[in-house]
Chain A
Amino acid sequence: MAGTRLRDKVAIVSGAGSRAAGIGNGRATAILFAREGAKVVVVDRDLDAASETVAHIREEGGTAIAEVADVTSYAECLAAVQRAVSEYGSLDILHNNVGIEGAGTLLQTDEDDWDRVWAVNTKSMMTMSKAALPPMIASGGGAIVNISSISALRPRGLTPYTVSKGAVIALTRALAIDHAAAGVRVNCIAPGPMYTPMVFADGMDDETRDRRRRASPLGIEGTGWDIAHAAVYLASDEARYVTGVVLSVDGGITLTSAAR
């Protein structure tokens, strides 16, 4: 393997398949974790998507297994954690990447939309973290990385999504302080405008893509690899004194005034 920054660590990455062909945040993170020496449990609700990520990792000489789970179910999260422990002996890193979009203002949102976005984006991080914490605490510590969004910091017309991702920040900070003494670090990443399969799966014209690029002060778009690199840093011992942070990976967009 190319790197050693996560050598001997066991990691679960949720949402590590990809909604469409290509490299999303979850798949990129699973691949980079493996490149840095971690053994990776690739969790997705879709076996084919998870298996594709595993195949990619194994082709590079890395170690990974696929695990199908609906991460909104605590029982299925528990099974995924047990698989990691039985297969690789421990659990050191949990990367909570699962998420779906939730567009519209509150007036455009019905109860079912709200519940669905909340379950996938927020409850999943609760269920997965609750399942993962005991083995981490038992082994003296661990690292959890949650994917929030700059939409939590900069709301505009995606209210169900914004609220679900804001709760991810609150959950991150709560877990960070509650389990600090046990040596568990909990941080989150707030991605800005990314060019990932979740975003381009339904098609994106060049004009829209260019507008999204220009929205960031750096004038570039992010990719799954940018999120994955941030996740490697936060999951690794290089960040052993970092907990409870919200790391924006957004090309500086949160420094600007939001277009509303």
Chain B
Amino acid sequence: MRLEGKKAVVFGAGQTPGQSIGNGRATAETLAREGAEVIAVDVDGERAEEVAKAIIDAGGSASAHVADATSEDDIAALFERCTKEWGRLDILHLNVGVSLAGGDAIITEITPEAFDRVTSINLRSMVLAFKHALPIMREHESGSITTIASIAAHIDYAYVSYKTSKAGVVALTQHVAISNARYGIRANCILPGLINTPMAVENRIGVLAGSREEVIATRDAQVPLGHKMGTGWDIANAALFLHSDEASFITGVALNVDGGQSLKIG
């Protein structure tokens, strides 16, 4: 197993209802399958429990934790729990994010409230998580962090809050990487392209196209590689590689997992 004995916290591990697997759940399950003990964090307790149960049923080790990633009190409590139960933290995976569901819009229609809400969930949540997680990792002079940004940071993307907050995630991750390398902590960023997740597909039914099938077909057609979207497992496998000791000389990278979509720009 590639993560034997590692202690991992996965944010956004719960699953938006839908017909495919989300990035967070796929990552939590993959890290656990490779031997990590996982705290599955979600704002929705039932969803967190469901993932933890699935991991345990598959023979892995996990527990659920309810936290609102925009609340510093919740974040502080989560990492206090890590210190108390584990005395360490080896892996931190930050997957929280929202776009349309947060009220995101094009720049001439965005409301300040929606911009603040999306930015608070997508970017500020990660700042808070780092603030409280890094001291634990520094103490043991090791740790691996992955953040989920989006190729929306680089490509032509319609909605202003998502694009700018995800670009902020790339910068934030690089900032954390360079300022914590001396403690043996690695931080890398994954930029998913079009992925067939419940969050991406279900929220666009009736927006991007009329039916689920049409939403999927419209998104598949935009992907250079084989004209098919990726899945949550592709994101999970990227996170697995980056968190494993196989990547011990890799820090500060921004890894596109996008079927080549970002090659279409520039």
Stretch of B40-48, B62-70, B240-248 on the interface side:
B240-248
Residue of chain A at shortest CB distance from B184 = A218
User: Which of these, A222, A226, A233, A256, contacts B241 with CB under 8 Å?
Assistant: A233
Interface size counted on chain B using CB atoms at 8 A: 36
CB of A176 within 8 A of CB of B263, answer: yes
Interface string of A235-256 (1 = CB under 8 A from B): 0001111111101111110111
A116 within 8 A of B: no
Q: Which residues A214-229 have CB closer than 8 A to chain B?
A: 216-220, 222, 226, 229
Q: Which residues of B contact A185 (CB under 8 A)?
A: 225
Q: Total A-B residue pairs with C-beta atoms closer than 8 Å?
A: 118
A167 within 8 A of B: no
CB of A238 within 8 A of CB of B240, answer: yes
B127 within 8 A of A: no
Q: Which residues of B contact A173 (CB under 8 A)?
A: 263
CB of B246 within 8 A of CB of A247, answer: no
Q: Which residues of B contact A255 (CB under 8 A)?
A: 174, 177-178, 251-252
CB of B250 within 8 A of CB of A249, answer: yes
Q: Nearest Cβ distance between residue B2 and chain A, in whole angstroms?
A: 10
Q: Which residues of A contact B264 (CB under 8 A)?
A: 177
A183 within 8 A of B: yes
Q: Which residues B228-266 have CB closer than 8 A to chain A?
A: 230-231, 234, 237-238, 240-241, 246-253, 255-260, 262-264
Bound-state Cα–Cα, A18 to B255, Å? 29
A180 within 8 A of B: yes
CB of B225 within 8 A of CB of A243, answer: yes
Residue of chain A at shortest CB distance from B251 = A252
CB of B224 within 8 A of CB of A217, answer: no
B81 within 8 A of A: no
Given known A176-B263, A238-B237, A252-B252, contact A218–B226 (CB-CB < 8 A): no
Given known A218-B184, A252-B252, contact A229–B259 (CB-CB < 8 A): no
Q: Which residues of B contact A222 (CB under 8 A)?
A: 249
A-B contact pairs, 14 of them (CB 8 A): A181-B225, A183-B226, A185-B225, A217-B182, A217-B252, A219-B182, A220-B249, A226-B250, A230-B246, A241-B225, A242-B238, A243-B259, A244-B263, A255-B178
On A, residues with C-beta under 8 Å from B are 141, 173, 176-177, 180-181, 183, 185, 192, 216-220, 222, 226, 229-230, 232-233, 238-245, 247-252, 254-256
On B, residues with C-beta under 8 Å from A are 174, 177-178, 181-182, 184, 186, 193, 224-227, 230-231, 234, 237-238, 240-241, 246-253, 255-260, 262-264
